[in-house]
Amino acid sequence: MKFTLTPGQLSYSDLNILLDETTTLELNENCFEDIFASEKTVADILLENKTTYGINTGFGSLARTQINSDELETLQHSLVLSHAAGTGELLSDQAVRLILALKINSLARGFSGVRLQTIQALIKLFNKNIYPCIPSQGSVGASGDLAPLAHLSAILLGVGEARHQGNIISAKKALEIAEIESLSLAPKEGLALLNGTQVSTSLSLLGLMAAEKAFVAAIIAGALSVDAAFGSAKPFDARIQEVRGHVSQISAAKMFRDLLHGSEILIAHHACGKVQDPYSLRCQPQVMGACLAHWFFACETLMTEANAVSDNPLVFPEQNEIISGGNFHAEPVAMAADTLALCIAEIGSLSERRIALLIDPNFSGLPPYLVNHAGVNSGFMIAQVTAASLASENKSLAHPASVDSIPTSANQEDHVSMATFAGRRLLPMAENTIGIVAIELLASCQGIDFRRPLKTSPLLEKIHAEVRKHIPFYEKDRYFAPDILAAKHLIHSGILQKITEISLSKI
């Protein structure tokens, strides 16, 4: 499909469209006037021979160094090459695709002094699915994501490598495929391309999207675990949530009530005499509600940043001014990513505790380790150990990145955000949590099978049937890893969200 981008107006639902490689991008032509005005302002400043940071000066601690007019093109070219100093594994194609989209979105707002042809060159890379090779390490999240964005921009100069259809190709070949001539950068263009928070923001947004899948799957698995463990639905009563007042807790409790509505299992043990369930069952609205609230905070912050102009200096054509500020400082992104990391870790931590509860007959009333003939069979014993290891790993990764700062550029850039790492660790964390929840999904479905002939709710029976379509009942010990992989695939596929119609963007 063709996506018409109105700069500064991307929504969360647009992200999946942009990440689809069949999508091609075009600019809303209404933005052209602002782009041209911004470019003209830079030209006017040069004609007036005004000393302006990043246009006719050096960069960082070299800002006081005046650059001669005949060296301005060399200045921008050298900036890109010298700053392409990243290291580590390459960012994924999905990450680079989103980075390209966000960089185009920012530059096209018309506050960066970049020519339309330069923006169109980035669009051609996007539309041809050409992804510059960007090392994942080397940015401290201020002054913007300099090193990774330099690797992105170097392709336009015919330098570096790109990935296309899974193959790494030279910059020259990439430009040929995209039908782009190697660019000579105009004044300020190199700086505008390199400055900005698009790498940190894209990595964090990918983490945000993965966290939504983990959250929804954990709500579903948690509801199944309530029935599998003969738990009570009373803790999900709307009155309990309303007197506390947290909107997201109220929403989370309603999700559980909707999922468990009509359960035969709940009715069957209604008068069992059990007084209270362990916290991992009973306090799900409180914990998951808190995670939901902070997911929304992160979503709002990151989507604001996705639409932001975050390079420096900024061009204001109406006043014919170029002003140096600090929008490149990615502290909002870092803090949002840190908050999201806590949510991802807690979703997994709570899920792991429910797995431990289900395999323990003292709490669940189910066969030990959820298998017949325990002793000969070990059942879910080591699957729970795997979940525990993943939860522990996330606890270390959840340490806030934004509390760290190391001065750079001869102390000119004396406080930085570390947003790039804050965002980059989110996907591995989400993958860990999805692994934990996948194991709980298997365990809770196993528990439901042991409650037969009683049935859970109609909605959860659909989930159970979908799981059993791909993963059979664990009758006796078998090679376990493929079951976990299949359950993870169900979570990643979005089928669980489709069946239950739970979508965080619709709340």
Model pTM greater than 0.75? yes
Which residue, among 72, 82, 34, 80, has the nearest Cα to 52 in the 3D structure?
72
* Cβ-contact 394, 426 below 8 angstroms: no
pLDDT at position 380 is: 98
CA atoms within 13 A of residue 491's CA, in its CB half-sphere: 32
The two tokens of residue 306 are 């996705």
Whether the CB-CB separation of 119 and 112 falls below 8 Å is answered with: no
Per-residue model confidence (pLDDT) at position 55: 86
Which residues touch 451 (CB under 8 Å, ≥6 apart)? 227, 228, 230, 265
321-371 per-position pLDDT tens digit = 999 999 999 999 999 999 999 999 999 999 999 999 999 999 999 999 999
Asked if 153 and 167 count as a contact pair (C-beta separation under 8 A), the reply is no
pLDDT of residue 254: 98
Residues 367, 374: contact at Cβ < 8 Å? yes
The answer to whether the beta carbons of residues 337 and 419 sit under 8 Å apart is yes
**Distance of alpha carbon 19 from alpha carbon 483, whole angstroms:** 28
pLDDT of 225 reads 98
Q: What is the pLDDT of residues 341-355, one digit of tens each?
A: 999 999 999 999 999
Instruction: Give catalytic residue positions.
Output: 53
pLDDT recorded at residue 57: 85
Beta-strand ranges (E) seen in 204-300 are none
229-254 as b/e, with b when 16 or more CB fall inside 10 Å? Answer: bbbbbebbeeeebeeeebebbbbbbe
What is residue 50's predicted lDDT score, i.e. its pLDDT?
Answer: 85
Three-state SS string over 347-383 comes to: HHHHHHHHHHHHHCHHHHCCCHHHCCCECCECCCHHH
Token pair for 223: 């509801």
> How far, rounded to the nearest angstrom, does the alpha carbon of residue 351 sit from its chain's CA centroid?
21
In this structure, what token pair is assigned to residue 398? Answer: 């959840």
pLDDT of residue 54: 79
Residue partners of 478: CB distance under 8 A and separation at least 6: none
Residue 57, judged by CB atoms within 10 A of its CB (0-12, 13-18, 19+), counts as: middle
Contact between 57 and 65 under an 8 Å Cβ cutoff? The reply is: yes
Q: For residue 365, what are its two tokens?
A: 């009333």
Q: How many residues does the chain have?
A: 507
Question: What is the token pair recorded at 200?
Answer: 């940190």
Which residues in the chain show pLDDT less than 70? 273
CA distance 404 to 141: 11
Q: What pLDDT is recorded for position 104?
A: 98
